A and B are shown apart, each in its own frame.
Chain A
Amino acid sequence: MSIPQPAYQETYLRLHGDLPGAGAAWMTHMRNSALSAFQQQGFPDTRVEAWKYTDLRSLGRHAFTPASDSGEITEAALEPWLFNHEPMHRLVFVDGRLALKLCPFQTLLSGAALTSLAAVLEQCPDELENLLGHTLDADRPGFDTMNTAFLQDGAYLKLERDAVLEQPVHLLFISTGQAERMTTVRNIITAGPGSSATVIESWVALGDAVSLTNTITEIVLAENASLQHYKLEQECDSATHIGGTYVRQQRDSRFTSHSITLGGQLVRNELDVNLAGRGAECALNGLTITHGRQHVDNNTRINHHQPYASSNEWYKGILDDRSRTVFSGRIVVHPDAQKTRAQQSNHSLLLSADAEADARPQFEIYADNVQCTHGCTVGALDADALFYLRTRALDSETARKLLVYAFAADVLERMRLEPVRRYLERQLAGRLAGSDALLQGTLLH
Chain B
Amino acid sequence: MNAMLTIKDLHVSVDGKAILNGIDLTINAGEVHAIMGPNGSGKSTFSQVLAGREQFEVTHGSIHYADQDLLTLPPEDRARAGIFLAFQYPVEIPGVSNIYLLRTALNTIRKQRGETELDAMDFLTLVKERAALMRMDEDLLYRSVNTGFSGGEKKRNEILQLLLLEPRLAILDETDSGLDIDALQVVANGINSLRDNSRAFLLVTHYQRLLDYIKPDFVHVLTAGRLVKSGGPELALELEQRGYGWLEEATAGATP
Chain A positions within 8 Å of B, measured between CB atoms, are 382-385, 387-396, 399, 402-403, 405-407, 409-410, 437, 442-444
In whole angstroms, what is the CA distance A405 to B96 when docked?
A: 9
- A442 touching B97 by the CB < 8 A rule? yes
Q: Chain B residues near A385 (CB, 8 Å)? A: 91-93
Given contacts A389-B96, A442-B104, 10 further A-B contacts (CB under 8 A): A384-B91, A387-B53, A388-B93, A392-B105, A392-B161, A393-B76, A393-B108, A393-B112, A394-B104, A444-B96
Given A394-B104, A394-B105, A396-B74, CB of A388 within 8 Å of CB of B97: no
Partner of A391, one of B85, B97, B104: B85
Given A396-B74, A396-B76, A406-B96, CB of A390 within 8 Å of CB of B52: yes
- Chain B nearest CB, measured from A47 CB (Å): 40
- Chain B nearest CB, measured from A253 CB (Å): 31
Interface: B224 (CB within 8 A): no
Q: Of residues 51 to 103 in B, which have CB atoms within 8 Å of A's CB atoms?
A: 51-55, 74-76, 78-80, 84-85, 87, 90-97, 100-101
Contact code string B92-127 (vs A, CB < 8 Å = 1, else 0): 111111001100110011001000000000000000
Given A383-B55, A410-B95, CB of A443 within 8 Å of CB of B100: yes
- A390 touching B76 by the CB < 8 A rule? yes
- A395 touching B90 by the CB < 8 A rule? no
- A406 touching B95 by the CB < 8 A rule? yes
Q: Chain A residues near B185 (CB, 8 Å)? A: none
In whole angstroms, what is the CA distance A204 to B52 when docked?
A: 45
In whole angstroms, what is the CA distance A442 to B142 when docked?
A: 11
- Chain A nearest CB, measured from B37 CB (Å): 22
- Chain A nearest CB, measured from B30 CB (Å): 23
Given A387-B53, A395-B76, CB of A444 within 8 Å of CB of B97: yes
Given A387-B53, A394-B108, A437-B104, CB of A410 within 8 Å of CB of B76: no
In whole angstroms, what is the CA distance A81 to B101 when docked?
A: 32
In whole angstroms, what is the CA distance A410 to B100 when docked?
A: 16
In whole angstroms, what is the CA distance A430 to B54 when docked?
A: 29
In whole angstroms, what is the CA distance A409 to B101 when docked?
A: 16
In whole angstroms, what is the CA distance A237 to B96 when docked?
A: 31
In whole angstroms, what is the CA distance A395 to B48 when docked?
A: 17
In whole angstroms, what is the CA distance A238 to B41 when docked?
A: 57
- A394 touching B76 by the CB < 8 A rule? yes
Given A383-B55, A437-B104, A442-B100, CB of A391 within 8 Å of CB of B75: yes
In whole angstroms, what is the CA distance A384 to B89 when docked?
A: 10
In whole angstroms, what is the CA distance A444 to B112 when docked?
A: 27
Q: Chain A residues near B92 (CB, 8 Å)? A: 385
Nearest A residue to B145 via CB reads A388
Q: Chain A residues near B79 (CB, 8 Å)? A: 390-393
- Chain A nearest CB, measured from B253 CB (Å): 38
Chain A to chain B contacts (Cβ below 8 Å), 10 pairs = A388-B91, A392-B101, A392-B105, A393-B108, A396-B76, A402-B96, A405-B95, A410-B94, A437-B104, A443-B97
Q: Chain A residues near B76 (CB, 8 Å)? A: 390-391, 393-396, 399
In whole angstroms, what is the CA distance A402 to B108 when docked?
A: 15
7 smallest beta-carbon distances between A and B, as pairs:
A406-B95, A390-B75, A393-B79, A392-B105, A388-B91, A393-B108, A442-B100
Q: Is the interface of A mostly helix, strand, loop or mixed?
A: helix
Interface: B189 (CB within 8 A): no
Nearest A residue to B142 via CB reads A444
Nearest A residue to B98 via CB reads A444
Interface: B6 (CB within 8 A): no
Q: Chain A residues near B54 (CB, 8 Å)? A: 387
In whole angstroms, what is the CA distance A395 to B79 when docked?
A: 10
In whole angstroms, what is the CA distance A72 to B118 when docked?
A: 51
Nearest B residue to A412 via CB reads B95
Q: Chain A residues near B161 (CB, 8 Å)? A: 392
**Residue with the highest number of chain B CB atoms closer than 10 Å, among A391, A403, A437:** A391
Interface: B230 (CB within 8 A): no
Q: Chain B residues near A399 (CB, 8 Å)? A: 76
Given A385-B91, A444-B144, CB of A393 within 8 Å of CB of B109: yes
Given A391-B75, A437-B104, CB of A443 within 8 Å of CB of B53: no
In whole angstroms, what is the CA distance A389 to B161 when docked?
A: 12
Q: Chain B residues near A391 (CB, 8 Å)? A: 51-52, 75-76, 78-79, 84-85, 87
Q: Chain A residues near B104 (CB, 8 Å)? A: 392-394, 437, 442
**Residue with the highest number of chain B CB atoms closer than 10 Å, among A385, A409, A444:** A444
- Chain B nearest CB, measured from A241 CB (Å): 28
- Chain B nearest CB, measured from A421 CB (Å): 14
Q: Chain B residues near A407 (CB, 8 Å)? A: 95
Given A385-B91, A385-B93, A443-B95, CB of A390 within 8 Å of CB of B108: no
- A409 touching B74 by the CB < 8 A rule? no
Q: Chain B residues near A392 (CB, 8 Å)? A: 79, 101, 104-105, 161, 165
Nearest A residue to B85 via CB reads A391
In whole angstroms, what is the CA distance A384 to B87 when docked?
A: 11
- A403 touching B108 by the CB < 8 A rule? no
**Residue with the highest number of chain B CB atoms closer than 10 Å, among A389, A393, A407:** A393
In whole angstroms, what is the CA distance A214 to B101 when docked?
A: 44
Q: Chain A residues near B165 (CB, 8 Å)? A: 392-393
In whole angstroms, what is the CA distance A407 to B109 when docked?
A: 26
In whole angstroms, what is the CA distance A227 to B93 when docked?
A: 33
In whole angstroms, what is the CA distance A2 to B110 when docked?
A: 64
Given A392-B105, A393-B80, A393-B109, CB of A387 within 8 Å of CB of B75: yes
- Chain A nearest CB, measured from B90 CB (Å): 7
- B101 touching A389 by the CB < 8 A rule? yes
Q: Chain A residues near B93 (CB, 8 Å)? A: 385, 388-389, 403, 406
